[in-house]
C-alpha cells in the first residue's frame, strides 16, 4: 500500500535554531517527492521537488534530502524564523500518472 | 498574475444539503485537482480534471462530483452532506494532467466548509 509517514507529528524550537523533519514512504513506482509549507488557514506552497536521481535540493534556508534506496527524505531548516511556524507536508508521486500521496504533515512552532 | 482562486472562502451548510465550490486555476494552467483536508490532517485527493474530463479519482463516494469548464475553471459538488464532510477543500492547478516533475501544483487557500 502506498503510504507517506512523517515525523515528528509536531515540533517546538526556539527562533534561530535549526531543525530537521523526516518523511518515510512506501510508494512504488516512485516518481518524485515534494515538500510543501502550509501556513494556518492557507493553501500549501511548494518548497522543493526532487526526482529519483536527486539527493539534495535547497530553497533558501530550506534543504531537502532524498535517499531513494531507503525511501527516506528530510527537510532541514536553518536559522529558523518566526515565519517558519507552519505545517510541513511531504508529498510523493507514484507511477506514470503521478498518483499523489500526501503525508499528514509536521506542525512546527517557532518560539521567540 | 493571479494565482489559484477559490470561492467562497467559508460556507456553512446543514446535513442533507448540497454544496458547490468553485476554483479558477492559475493563469497558464489547464489541470485542476481537488483535495479535502480535515483538521490536523494532510490533504486527501478527491479527483483531477483535465480537458473537461475526470482523469483520476481518489477514494471518495459518488456524492462528490465535479466539472471543468472550457476556460479551465472547475466546480466541486457534494450532495447529501454529512457531518464528516466538514473540512477545508483545496483546489490545486498545474500544467498537464500529471503535473509534471518540475511543475509544482499551485494551491488556492481553500474553502472552509462546516456542516451543522
Report the candidate in B5, B53, B57 with the shortest Cα–Cα distance to residue B34: B57
Q: Are A33 and A90 in contact (CB under 8 A)?
A: yes
* pLDDT (average), residues A3-14: 96
Closest partner CB to B101 (pick from A43, A51, A89): A51
Tell me whether residues A49 and B104 touch, CB distance under 8 A. yes
Cell numbers describing residue B107: 494551491
Which residues of chain A have a CB within 8 Å of the CB of B4? 43
Q: What is the pLDDT of residue A93?
A: 86
* pLDDT (average), residues A41-70: 93
Can you tell me the distance from the alpha carbon of A28 to that of B24, in angstroms, rounded to the nearest whole number?
32
Cell numbers describing residue A59: 530553497
Does A104 contact B at CB distance below 8 Å? Answer: yes
Q: What is the pLDDT of residue B1?
A: 60
Backbone angles phi, psi at A95, to 5 degrees: 80, 175
User: Picking from A98-107, B31-40, B72-81, B93-102, which range would have the lowest pLDDT averaged per residue?
Assistant: B93-102
Does A89 contact B at CB distance below 8 Å? Answer: yes
Q: How confident is the model at residue A19 (pLDDT cuts 50, 70, 90)?
A: very high
Looking at the complex, report in whole angstroms how far the Cα of residue B14 sits from the nearest Cα belonging to chain A. 22
Looking at the complex, report in whole angstroms how far the Cα of residue A14 sits from the nearest Cα belonging to chain B. 22
Residue A49's closest chain B neighbor by CA?
B102
- Is residue B102 predicted with pLDDT exceeding 50? no
Cell numbers describing residue B68: 471543468
Tell me whether residues A32 and B45 touch, CB distance under 8 A. no
Q: What is the pLDDT of residue A97?
A: 66
- Is residue B71 predicted with pLDDT exceeding 90? yes
A10-14 vs A106-111, strand pairing mode: parallel
- Is residue B101 predicted with pLDDT exceeding 60? no
Amino acid at each position: 500500500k502506498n503510504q507517506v509517514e512523517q515525523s515528528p507529528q509536531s515540533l517546538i524550537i526556539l527562533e534561530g535554531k535549526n531543525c530537521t523533519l523526516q518523511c518515510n514512504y512506501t510508494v512504488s513506482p516512485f516518481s518524485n517527492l515534494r515538500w510543501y509549507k502550509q501556513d494556518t488557514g492557507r493553501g500549501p506552497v511548494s518548497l522543493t521537488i526532487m526526482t529519483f536521481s536527486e539527493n539534495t535540493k535547497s530553497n533558501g534556508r530550506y534543504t531537502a534530502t532524498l535517499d531513494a534506496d531507503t525511501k527516506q527524505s528530510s527537510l532541514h531548516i536553518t536559522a529558523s524564523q518566526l515565519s517558519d511556524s507552519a505545517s510541513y507536508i511531504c508529498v510523493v508521486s507514484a507511477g506514470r500518472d503521478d498518483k499523489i500521496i500526501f503525508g499528514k504533515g509536521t506542525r512546527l512552532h517557532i518560539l521567540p | 498574475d493571479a494565482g489559484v482562486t477559490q470561492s467562497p472562502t467559508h460556507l456553512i451548510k446543514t446535513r442533507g444539503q448540497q454544496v458547490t465550490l468553485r476554483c479558477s486555476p492559475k493563469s497558464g494552467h489547464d489541470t485542476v485537482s481537488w483535495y479535502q483536508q480535515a483538521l490536523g490532517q494532510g490533504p486527501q485527493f478527491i479527483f483531477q480534471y483535465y480537458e473537461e474530463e475526470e482523469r483520476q479519482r481518489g477514494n471518495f463516494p459518488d456524492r462528490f462530483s465535479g466539472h471543468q469548464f472550457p476556460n479551465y475553471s472547475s466546480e466541486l459538488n457534494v450532495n447529501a452532506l454529512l457531518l464528516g464532510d466538514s473540512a477545508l477543500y483545496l483546489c490545486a492547478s498545474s500544467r498537464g494532467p500529471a503535473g509534471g516533475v518540475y511543475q509544482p501544483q499551485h494551491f488556492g487557500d481553500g474553502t472552509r466548509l462546516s456542516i451543522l
